[in-house]
Structure 1
Amino acid sequence: MPSVAEGVKIGIQECQHQFRGRRWNCTTINDNLAIFGPVLDKVVEYGSAEHHQCSPVQPQDYDLIHEGYDHSDTHNGKQPDALHDPQCPTGEVAMTEDMYLGSITTRESAFVHAIASAGVAFAVTRSCAEGSATICGCDTRHKGAPGEGWKWGGCSEDAEFGSMVSREFADARENRPDARSAMNRHNNEAGRTSINDHLHLKCKCHGLSGSCEVKTCWWSQPDFRVIGDYLKDKYDSASEMVVEKHRESRGWVETLRPKYTFFKPPTERDLVYYESSPNFCEPNTETGSFGTRDRICNVTSHGIDGCDLLCCGRGHNTRTEKRKEKCHCIFHWCCYVSCQECVRIYDVHTCK
């Protein structure tokens, strides 16, 4: 489904932005070692039969269809288009083992699951508001009493429906009674919750000559950068957990509890992990690390993007690079800008 694929790509792009100056920079499917790659591979290979495994989805799972939808026309007992796959029997969706990150349970994995889940919820919600999907539309539930000087109008974005689709997409295989599944489900939900938490009122003025005689408002998602910044903060403050085993009627079950009891326990909005991160200095096929060799570093920075830290103490190389740029631009009345082309020389520093 295009909006699901777009959502994962949005998540990847935001992950790359947030970690652009770190040793782990959210490397993607351009290489086989990618830690984020399996998530996108699942979407890219969506039309390939050998990559499919179908998971059952029960009709009651779609009872989240909100007031305002015409059930006789748009629901009709069928699963949403966002989940339908022609290669799967009716009532099932395509899933693959490669969707997730193997046995990795670090805070990087926590962020990946959260940002990918949020990206899917974001893209599906936007697709509904734009009228691109047939099963959903605007959210008509959150009306309430308007504020002074404005009234409800426009198309409020249905983040709850987007979260439902994201939940079916991301959580369908996370039903095992082990700690990794519990961790992934928690972080997926934290990502989706961030979308709902950041809905805000957006308003438009109507009137003659730009006046604001009438103002209509609706619920809107923020720019996804806001979500990325928020989840990056959650990554930095992620809660370390420990695994506990106990027996239930279905057998041995693994659960998670905070490692440090003197800290406030994590909420549904926090990210959790239970394995320490590698240093990502050297290539490692198990962790998806490419290492930092040949990465561009900032020779003047004392932070994580600086050559000392990013290069893991190996030192750095420096080369000169010529770049053509527009310069000496002049505005001419009326109305165009003319520029000259200049060649400038820059020093580029890369890790050894």
Structure 2
Amino acid sequence: MDPNSICRKTKRLAGKQAELCQTEPDIVQEVAKGARLGVRECQHQFRFRRWNCTSHNIRETAFVYAITAAGVSHAITQACSMGELLQCSCAATRSRAPPLPTAGPGAEGSAWEWGGCGDDVEFGYEKSRQFMDAKRKKGKSDIRTLIDLHNNEAGRLAVRSYMRTECKCHGLSGSCTLHTCWKKMPHFREVGDRLLERFNGAFKVMGANDGKTLLPVGHSIKPPDRQDLVYSADSPDFCAANRKTGSPGTRGRVCESAAPGVSGCDLLCCGRGHRAETLVLEENCLCRFHWCCVVQCRQCRVTKELSLCL
């Protein structure tokens, strides 16, 4: 996920990836940021589940591909809005009127126009597609390729399809005679939450005879749409270490002893039980601001109680 490491392997990259390394290295830097963003979000969403966000050909791989493609799209779009890329900036001003607010002062009878700095999600979407899909498109049409491309697209759509409208009110004394509105991406935590919901309802699929279509396994199941996550191989239980699947097992994992369901110790520890451990940490505390401009803090000891799987 380091941009320099990515581009040093140019000979092994697909054509579009190698081209981006050579012509747009700043885009590759945002790709690396987006991949790290996706990994962190994956670790947050699955922090109390047995799987540890390794990428292998199992059901969980669907989430890895989706959250990584979403992270790349999100990071590139954010860089555009922040003026960190020369190839893009804010989204182009729209010609159609924005939706009226449903409540608030001045909501009725005020003038509207697009303005501000909207997020150019189309640019981020396209660059994510070019880089993330390039290798898989290179002369391949097997079921693994189709599944990975489908989940990449589902991740990007979890960003692009949920843009929100933000507005600023203008006018004397709060009269709100004019609203300026722009489009913003959802927060990435929202993207992660949405993709986790899709993962929980993921479709098991098989390849059709044409080599280009994915079909759901089982009768009376609707075909997955573009935002659904799909997989072809069932998952192991992840309880024990397994080098083949990349699972380190769940021994030593932090769990919540009082939590029910998927976040509880009974499930995460696979019935082996758990032990309590006390950690003593030093953290900044009693911080004070001194004019001008220094913040001084003391070091305080903080005790934390953890539950660890046996």
Is the 2:52–2:247 Cα contact (8 Å) retained in structure 1? no
Structure 2 residue corresponding to 1:120, chosen from 55, 66, 72: 72
Are 1:133 and 2:85 an aligned pair?
Answer: yes
- Look up the match of 2:135: 173
**CA distance, structure 2, for counterparts of residue 135 and residue 325 of structure 1:** 42
Instruction: Summarize deviations over 1:79-109 as a string: whole Å, max 9, x none.
Output: xxxxxxxxxxxxxxxxxxxxxx4xx332211
- Look up the match of 1:316: 274
How far the C-alpha of 1:344 sits from its partner, in A, is 5.8
Aligned amino acid, residue 114 of structure 2: W
- Look up the match of 1:43: none
Instruction: Summarize deviations over 1:260-312 as a string: whole Å, max 9, x none.
Output: 23122110110000100111111222222111111111111232222211111
How far the C-alpha of 1:151 sits from its partner, in A, is 1.4
Is the 1:178–1:255 Cα contact (8 Å) retained in structure 2? no
Aligned amino acid, residue 201 of structure 1: T
Cα pair distance change 1:312/1:163, threshold 3 Å: same
**CA distance, structure 1, for counterparts of residue 286 and residue 29 of structure 2:** 43
How far the C-alpha of 1:5 sits from its partner, in A, is 1.3
Aligned amino acid, residue 75 of structure 2: A
Aligned amino acid, residue 205 of structure 2: M
SS for the counterpart of 1:304 is helix
Is the 2:94–2:114 Cα contact (8 Å) retained in structure 1? no
How far the C-alpha of 1:342 sits from its partner, in A, is 6.7
TM-score by length of 1: 0.69
TM-score by length of 2: 0.77
Cα pair distance change 1:344/1:105, threshold 3 Å: closer
How far the C-alpha of 1:211 sits from its partner, in A, is 4.9
Cα pair distance change 1:156/1:287, threshold 3 Å: same
Is the 1:243–1:274 Cα contact (8 Å) retained in structure 2? no
Structure 2 residue corresponding to 1:286, chosen from 225, 228, 244: 244
How far the C-alpha of 1:230 sits from its partner, in A, is 0.6
How far the C-alpha of 1:318 sits from its partner, in A, is 2.1
Which deviates further from its counterpart, 310-319 or 267-276?
A: 310-319
Cα pair distance change 1:305/1:255, threshold 3 Å: same
SS for the counterpart of 2:255 is coil
Q: Greater helix percent: which structure?
A: 2
Aligned amino acid, residue 48 of structure 2: G
Sequence identity percentage:
45
Q: Counterparts of 1:61-140 in structure 2 under 5 Å?
A: 101=55, 104-140=56-92
Cα pair distance change 1:275/1:340, threshold 3 Å: same
Q: Counterparts of 1:126-205 in structure 2 under 5 Å?
A: 126-140=78-92, 142-146=94-98, 147=100, 149=110, 150-175=112-137, 176-205=140-169
Instruction: Summarize deviations over 1:21-65 as a string: whole Å, max 9, x none.
Output: 111132xxxxxxxx2xxxxxxxxxxxxxxxxxxxxxxxxxxxxxx
> Structure 1 regions of 5+ residues with no counterpart?
27-34, 36-100, 247-252, 331-337
> Structure 2 regions of 5+ residues with no counterpart?
1-27, 101-108, 289-295
Instruction: Summarize deviations over 1:233-284 as a string: whole Å, max 9, x none.
Output: 00001111123445xxxxxx37421002312211011000010011111122
Cα RMSD (Å): 2.8
- Look up the match of 2:5: none
Is the 2:167–2:181 Cα contact (8 Å) retained in structure 1? yes
Structure 1 segments, 4+ long, off by >6 Å, are 325-330, 338-342
Aligned amino acid, residue 7 of structure 1: G
- Look up the match of 1:275: 233
Cα pair distance change 1:328/1:113, threshold 3 Å: closer
